[in-house]
């Protein structure tokens, strides 16, 4: 392994697979650690690169911590702990139970986009997941990964719209990706609302992601989730603002146009998206190594 190449990669890496190649992470980590160890490597930034390598390995093995709308989140691959404002956690727990009680075969299919089970204790709200899941917070991913993540999000948004519901808080902290299964899981049900009724809260951190109509009428509708899904895709492509300005000439023009266009009806939006993918992207399985 070339020490300078490793140092350069570690300066911008947000997850281990950007530096080491799966599935031999453990063996490659040992090799990289030997190359970068400050006692061996005299290159500038070797010490900070070595520290970053260890941090990325810890994140891969143990999960990560971050903040969401209610407070602190501890993501541990198969278990997520939410700690924060009791009122928000209670609301999220009640809304999760409400979603899991939706009857019918369609609901059973879409439950794969929700945590398997949950538990509300005195101190936190925890969700268990059937597969290793990674929060999207802080990630920048290639086009091929973002397109299928957005496809999953638009699909589940269409299901929520069919059930007369709006998640209301789709953002990098509320969505987890399931790398091995090519799936996503929604969490953070603080803002879940009935379509047509008044929305009581939104994600303050991502206030600029919400459409102007929401602030004018304060009414929950499916276009809110659609807009947040597309803004999240823009975020994952490398523009944290969600505006798409930084993506000009960097991503497929048809994809960027779709992300910036206005869509109001969930199933129509999903159909148009699938048509855009068929015309502009090859049909291929793109593995996600996180």
pLDDT digits (tens, 9 = 90+) for 179-229: 888 999 999 999 999 999 999 999 999 999 999 999 999 999 999 999 999
Check residue 238 and give its pLDDT.
95
In which band, very low, low, confident or very high, does the pLDDT at 285 lie, cut at 50, 70 and 90?
confident
Nearest to 238 by CA among 226, 225, 256: 256
Question: What CA–CA distance (Å, rounded) separates 80 from 93?
Answer: 13
Rg of the chain, C-alpha, whole Å: 20
By CB atoms closer than 10 A (0-12, 13-18, 19+), residue 211 is middle
Residue that wins the pLDDT comparison between 27 and 276: 276
- Tell me which CATH homologous superfamily contains domain 134-280: Transferase(Phosphotransferase) domain 1 (1.10.510.10)
Check residue 77 and give its pLDDT.
82
Residue that wins the pLDDT comparison between 58 and 65: 65
Per residue in 90-102, pLDDT (tens digit) is 999 999 999 999 9
Q: Is the pLDDT of residue 81 over 70?
A: yes
Residue 210: strand, helix, or coil: coil
Q: What is the mean pLDDT of residues 226-235?
A: 98
Q: Is the pLDDT of residue 78 over 80?
A: yes
- All residues at 6 or more sequence positions from 268 whose CB lies less than 8 Å from its CB, including other chains: none
For the chain, give the percent of residues with pLDDT over 70. 99
Check residue 22 and give its pLDDT.
65
Q: Is the pLDDT of residue 59 over 90?
A: no
Q: Is the pLDDT of residue 145 over 70?
A: yes
51: its two tokens: 């520290």
In which band, very low, low, confident or very high, does the pLDDT at 274 lie, cut at 50, 70 and 90?
very high
Q: What is the mean pLDDT of residues 43-63?
A: 87
Check residue 25 and give its pLDDT.
78
Nearest to 244 by CA among 268, 222, 142, 232: 232
Q: What is the mean pLDDT of residues 230-257?
A: 95
Question: What CA–CA distance (Å, rounded) separates 179 from 84?
Answer: 28
Question: What CA–CA distance (Å, rounded) separates 216 from 253?
Answer: 31
In which band, very low, low, confident or very high, does the pLDDT at 17 lie, cut at 50, 70 and 90?
confident
Check residue 21 and give its pLDDT.
77
Check residue 108 and give its pLDDT.
93
For the chain, give the percent of residues with pLDDT over 90. 79
* H and E: helices and strands count for the chain: 10, 10
Question: What CA–CA distance (Å, rounded) separates 269 from 186?
Answer: 19
Strand bridging mode 117-120 / 125-128: antiparallel
Mean pLDDT (the chain) is 93
Q: Is the pLDDT of residue 68 over 80?
A: yes
Residue ranges of the chain assigned to CATH 1.10.510.10: 134-280
Q: What is the mean pLDDT of residues 227-249?
A: 95
User: Contact at 8 Å (CB) between 16 and 56?
Assistant: yes
């Amino acid at each position: 392994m070339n020490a300078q190449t490793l140092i350069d990669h570690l300066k911008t890496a947000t997850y281990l697979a950007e530096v080491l190649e799966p599935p031999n992470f453990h063996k490659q980590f040992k090799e990289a650690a030997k190359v970068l160890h400050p006692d061996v490597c005299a290159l500038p930034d070797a010490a900070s690169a070595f520290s970053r390598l260890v941090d990325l390995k810890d994140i891969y093995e143990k999960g990560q911590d971050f903040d969401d709308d209610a407070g602190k989140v501890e993501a541990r691959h198969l278990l997520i702990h939410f700690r924060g404002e009791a009122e928000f956690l209670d609301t999220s727990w009640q809304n999760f139970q409400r979603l899991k009680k939706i009857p019918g075969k369609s609901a059973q299919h879409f439950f794969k986009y929700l945590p398997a089970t949950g538990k509300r204790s005195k101190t936190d709200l925890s969700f268990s997941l059937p597969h290793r899941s990674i929060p999207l917070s802080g990630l920048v991913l290639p086009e091929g990964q973002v397109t299928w993540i957005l496809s999953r999000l638009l699909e589940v948004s269409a299901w929520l719209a069919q059930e007369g519901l709006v998640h209301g808080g789709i953002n990098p902290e509320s969505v987890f990706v399931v790398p091995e299964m090519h799936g996503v899981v929604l969490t953070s049900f603080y803002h879940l609302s009935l379509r047509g009724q008044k929305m009581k809260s939104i994600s303050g951190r991502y206030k600029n992601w919400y459409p102007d109509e929401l602030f004018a009428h304060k009414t929950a509708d499916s276009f809110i989730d659609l807009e947040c899904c597309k803004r999240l895709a823009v975020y994952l492509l490398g523009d944290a603002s969600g505006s798409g300005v930084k993506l000009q000439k960097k991503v497929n023009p048809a994809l960027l146009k779709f992300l910036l266009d206005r869509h109001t009806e969930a199933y129509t939006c999903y159909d148009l998206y699938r048509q855009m993918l068929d015309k502009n992207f090859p049909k291929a399985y793109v593995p996600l190594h996180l």
